[in-house]
Structure 1
Amino acid sequence: MEFARPRGTRDFLFDEMRQRKKAESTLRKIFESYGYQEIKTPLFEELKLFTTKSGEEIVDQLYNFKDKSDRELTLRPEITAPVARLYLNELEKTAVKPIKLYYYGSCFRYERPQKGRFRQFWQFGCELIGAKTPQGEAEVIALCTDSINALGITTADVNINHLGIIRGLFSHFNISDETQREIMVVIDKGDKDLLIESLSGDNPVIDNDELNQILLKLIDLVGDKSILNDVEELIAPYDESKAALEELKELIDLLEDFDVENYTLNLGVARGLDYYTGIVFEIYVPELGAQKQICGGGSYSLVKVFGGQEVESTGFALGFDRLMNAIEELTEVEELGSHLDIYVIPITEDVRSEAYKITQLLRRNGIKADVDLNNKKFRKLMNYADKIKVEKIALMGPKELEDGKITIKDMVSGNQELIDIENIVEYVKGE
């Protein structure tokens, strides 16, 4: 009988897991240096948490089910909504703002698997709740760029926009919520031809040529802060968009204070979900091709959607799997050393009991140690130590043990030294 992995999932073996754990550890250090604390939410939530956020149409993309009490549940497709639910349940009335939290975990979507896109995937992200705008966004973008830089990804392109500019135009021209949603989804796809067809085809989504022409010009504005003059000129007749532009200008000034230099203003970044309200950003790594987006984030009003009090919230989620693809693509593959600090080798069977005791002593002092459990011969144990690239081995013979000694061999230099067993922990630690 043969069992295969479920479609759209992966197995990770030892070396790959070590690389992933290394990246995870790097991200944790950066996030915590900004004052963020880790939280965990359940792998499954009530289905209505996500349909309330994204509409009933999302059900086709979910792993949803009924439990034995007939409750509608689903494996989480992302973690922002669970964080908003956690905030309402646990933090809204008691926590001092701003609240800085981060998360790392797996998510599930029932989609067609393809390169860089799986049915089980991992997100590493954060939420900043209750910080002022645009200071909060500036710090969040700085955190995001510092995290990516710390992983050695040097070609990441941070694209920033303010949705209030487009939403202000929609307000000026009295565009319905449903039509706004439809257009924002098209803009979010980044398909210029599709947008042109939607706005200027035989049956345009918006029956207003003035607005259609402004939108087509607006989303073409991509560059450094010099394009802000073009944006200002374009929206000059429309007061509803001007406050958002001023906020975007203030953000750009703040990014300099937070030492963020490499970014692109891109008026075509939309984040096509209704709850995104202000500054938004996406990060691309061109070398990843069609799946180049490794991060998305911005300011949102999700807590209010769930029935809570309005609170300024900003966050982002890094696609951890795509981060790993980018690391592999852009950085030199680091040759991994051994997973052990030392390997204990009993030379004869009569010292095996002591070998186990010494191995436990090392482990309980924070040293990664292992010992033979299969009664292998000395030569095979030496071959194994060489194969796993361990730098130190402890050779235990009966004569040395009688004298309270043990031989430590450096497998790199070939040097070996006889030391007192009572000093082995300090010796291995280099103290």
Structure 2
Amino acid sequence: MEFTRPRGTRDFLFDEMEKRKEVEKVLRNTFENYAYREIKTPLFEDLKLFTTKSGEEIVDQLYNFKDKSDREITLRPEITAPVARLYLNELQKVAKPIKLYYFGSCFRYERPQKGRFRQFWQFGCELIGAKSPEGEGEVIALCNDSLNNLNLHSADIHINHLGIIRGLFKHFDISQETQRELMVVIDKGDKELLRNSLKGENPIIENDELNGILLKLIDIVGDKSVLSKIDELLSKYDETQDSLNEFKKLIDDLESFNVKNYTLNLGVARGLDYYTGIVFEVYIPELGAQKQVCGGGSYSLIKIFGGEEISSTGFAFGFDRLMNAIEELNDNNEIKSSVDIYVAPFSNETRSKSYEIAQTLRSEGIKTEIDLSRKKFKKLLNHANNLNVKYVVLVGEDELKNNQVTIKDMESGEQELVKLDEIIDYIKRNIYEY
């Protein structure tokens, strides 16, 4: 009988896991440098949590089931809704703003394709209760620093303010249902589809003035110099001005936060009702059709779940897309050894002492491997080479009689006798540059 992994999932072997752990470490350090603290939520939640957020139509994309008590459960398709639920359950009385981040796997029942899997990982954050737009500015700065720290310097952050287009909808008295339908079309990023949806035989909105403005607005993409075009286009629509002023203030704040690689893109929509203000997406052009590696913005999700009206801003990296980008863009993908030292007993008589030496090294936080297969000397060194360790501790009978071992530099081939009680200092001095 042959067993294979389920469709849309992957196995990660040693080298790939080392790369993923290194990226995870960089992101954790960056987020914590901004005073974010990690939380974890369950892999499965009540189905109602996600249908309340995204509508009943999302069920077709979920791994949902009934448990033994006949409750409707689903594997989480994303982590924003669980964070909102966590806030309502545990954090409402905590002093604001609250900064939290998460890293975990999510599940969607979609057709697997390049860059899209049924099990995938998200690394993201939520800032709950900060003022706008300064809170949004810092969140975008965190996103920007994360990309820079991963050497993804070609990444471009595309930013919009949904309040601008919602102000137009308010001015022209467009129903919520029609707004929702049009935002989904805008979110697809297909300008020809949008044109057909507004100017075709059966337009979503039958208002030539609004349709003309929308098509011009969605076409505006560029640096902050395009703000003058937006001003000119929207000058007579009072309902858009507060959001436009917030947008301008955010751009000023980004300069203070030293964020430079951003683009104003009035076509970024995110396509979801609960996004209320600033929205942004991160594109890495070298990834082609899978160029989007991150999405986020300000939202009012907690209110949808019955909580208070509270401003929240967050984003999530598609961790797998990040890994693809790093593989694509970084020339040097050499993996650091997962082992610092290899302890090689010369004979059965030196094994017990070798185990003691290995445990002493490990107690000092030195990543240590030891021969457990009784290899011959030549094979010991070959194995050490395969592990890519810099030093091997050779434990021989003659050396032990003098309370010494031989430490071999695998790069230069040089060897040095070291006293047993000086091994730790020697390794820290030579490997860790203490």
TM-score tier after normalising by the smaller chain length: over 0.9
Partner of 1:190: 189
TM-aligned CA deviation for residue 173 of structure 1 = 1.1
Partner of 1:205: 204
C-alpha distance in structure 2 between counterparts of 1:420 and 1:123, whole Å = 48
C-alpha distance in structure 1 between counterparts of 2:8 and 2:151, whole Å = 28
Q: What SS class does the counterpart of residue 247 from structure 2 fall into?
A: helix
Percent sequence identity is: 70
Asked if the contact 2:65/2:74 (under 8 Å) is kept, the reply is yes
TM-score (norm 1): 0.98
Partner of 1:269: 268
Partner of 2:392: 393
Q: Residue by residue, what CA displacement relative to the aligned partner does 1:56-114 show, whole Å, maximum 9, x if unpaired?
A: 00000011111111111111111111111111110012x11110111111111111111
**Amino acid across the alignment from 2:331:** E
C-alpha distance in structure 2 between counterparts of 1:144 and 1:21, whole Å = 19
Asked if the contact 2:276/2:299 (under 8 Å) is kept, the reply is yes
Question: What aligned pairs does 1:18-417 form with structure 2 within 5 A after superposition?
Answer: 18-93=18-93, 95-417=94-416
**Amino acid across the alignment from 2:76:** R
TM-aligned CA deviation for residue 383 of structure 1 = 1.8
Asked if the contact 1:47/1:74 (under 8 Å) is kept, the reply is yes
TM-aligned CA deviation for residue 117 of structure 1 = 0.7
C-alpha distance in structure 2 between counterparts of 1:2 and 1:151, whole Å = 39
Q: Residue by residue, what CA displacement relative to the aligned partner does 1:313-371 show, whole Å, maximum 9, x if unpaired?
A: 00100111111111111111332243211111111111111111111111111111111
C-alpha distance in structure 2 between counterparts of 1:177 and 1:403, whole Å = 84
C-alpha distance in structure 2 between counterparts of 1:176 and 1:315, whole Å = 27
Asked if the contact 1:40/1:103 (under 8 Å) is kept, the reply is yes
C-alpha distance in structure 1 between counterparts of 2:298 and 2:117, whole Å = 26
**Amino acid across the alignment from 2:284:** V
C-alpha distance in structure 2 between counterparts of 1:383 and 1:239, whole Å = 74
**Amino acid across the alignment from 1:373:** L
TM-aligned CA deviation for residue 200 of structure 1 = 1.3
RMSD (CA atoms): 1.0
TM-aligned CA deviation for residue 374 of structure 1 = 1.5
**Amino acid across the alignment from 2:73:** L
Q: Residue by residue, what CA displacement relative to the aligned partner does 1:187-215 show, whole Å, maximum 9, x if unpaired?
A: 00001111111111111111211111111
C-alpha distance in structure 1 between counterparts of 2:252 and 2:339, whole Å = 49
C-alpha distance in structure 1 between counterparts of 2:128 and 2:325, whole Å = 29
Asked if the contact 2:277/2:298 (under 8 Å) is kept, the reply is yes
Partner of 1:421: 420
Q: What SS class does the counterpart of residue 231 from structure 1 fall into?
A: helix
Asked if the contact 2:340/2:389 (under 8 Å) is kept, the reply is yes
C-alpha distance in structure 2 between counterparts of 1:52 and 1:339, whole Å = 44
Greater CA drift, 231-240 or 183-192: 231-240
**Amino acid across the alignment from 1:350:** E
**Amino acid across the alignment from 1:358:** I
Asked if the contact 1:337/1:390 (under 8 Å) is kept, the reply is no
Going from structure 1 to structure 2, the CA distance change for 1:337 and 1:136 (only over 3 Å counts) comes to closer
**Amino acid across the alignment from 2:78:** E
TM-score (norm 2): 0.97
TM-aligned CA deviation for residue 162 of structure 1 = 0.4
Asked if the contact 2:327/2:333 (under 8 Å) is kept, the reply is no
TM-aligned CA deviation for residue 261 of structure 1 = 1.4
Q: What SS class does the counterpart of residue 267 from structure 2 fall into?
A: coil
**Amino acid across the alignment from 2:384:** A
C-alpha distance in structure 2 between counterparts of 1:349 and 1:178, whole Å = 78
Q: What SS class does the counterpart of residue 272 from structure 1 fall into?
A: coil
Q: Which runs of 5+ in 1 are unaligned?
A: none
C-alpha distance in structure 2 between counterparts of 1:187 and 1:335, whole Å = 41
Asked if the contact 2:125/2:314 (under 8 Å) is kept, the reply is yes
Q: What SS class does the counterpart of residue 331 from structure 2 fall into?
A: coil
Q: What SS class does the counterpart of residue 78 from structure 1 fall into?
A: coil
